Amino acid sequence: MKIAIITDIHGSTHWRTVMKMVDKFDKIIFLGDYFDAWINKWPEQMNNACNIITFKKSYPEKVNLCWANHDTSYYLDERCSGYQFDYEIDIKEFFRKYKEQLEVVYIYDEWIFSHAGVSAKWMSDSGIKTVEEINMLFKKNPDYFRWVGPDGFGNNPNEGPLWIRPESLITNAVKNYNQVVGHTELPDGPKVISKNKLKFVFTDTRKHNNLTIVNTETNEVSFVNIAVS
């Protein structure tokens, strides 16, 4: 399967380039953070998020939307950095309205796609034994997906799939799965780190204009800069 990954939107419209490439991919996955823009403000942020929902509804079997910490920041009232108090009512309503369109993880063969990554410690603390249980756990008890601490940056092995940072993920990842994540902006661009025959693909960049492509048949990973044309 050829999968395109778009991470950490934060109001960016670069993702629209992929709309012209839909037929090139078997699956297109957004890794969340639809609001709290660093560049685009209001109402462009809401228009952009609604356009993503429309894109998802146009290709319901091809496009998957994941939750991220800047999304549950409103849905769970966590108020993480960049929280927009002036527009919180509208953003909360957005997630209440479209929550069924989102999931925490997408799993295909030996690959997990999520905003930040899945650690074995968090799974144990949450009382689940398989990664297939994660999405249902969020629906039943989303409190398991809140920031845990004590590290304010989220660099703890007990953090969940919306918060954990690369260092803690690599050292405590769930076994037998390659993982593709966003969440942590890498100053030198996206990268792939291999450990114990598994791949950790870190996709987020400061400009939020990266498209990651994963071929699950060959395990090849490539990165493409995208921009609105």
Confidence of residue 91 (pLDDT cuts 50, 70, 90): very high
Phi, psi of 71 (to 5 degrees): -90, -50
Query: Tens digits of per-residue pLDDT, 160-181?
Result: 999 999 999 999 999 999 999 9
What count of other Cβ atoms lies within 10 Å of the Cβ of residue 155?
15
**Are the C-beta atoms of residues 146 and 108 closer than 8 Å to each other?**
no
For residue 228, what pLDDT is reported?
60
Q: Which domains does the chain have, with CATH numbers?
A: 2-225 (3.60.21.10)
Give pLDDT tens digits for 28-80.
999 999 999 877 789 999 999 999 999 999 999 999 999 999 999 999 999 99
Q: CA 2, CA 84: separation in Å to the nearest integer?
A: 36
Q: What pTM was computed for the model?
A: 0.96
Closest among 196, 191, 153 to 174, alpha carbons compared: 196
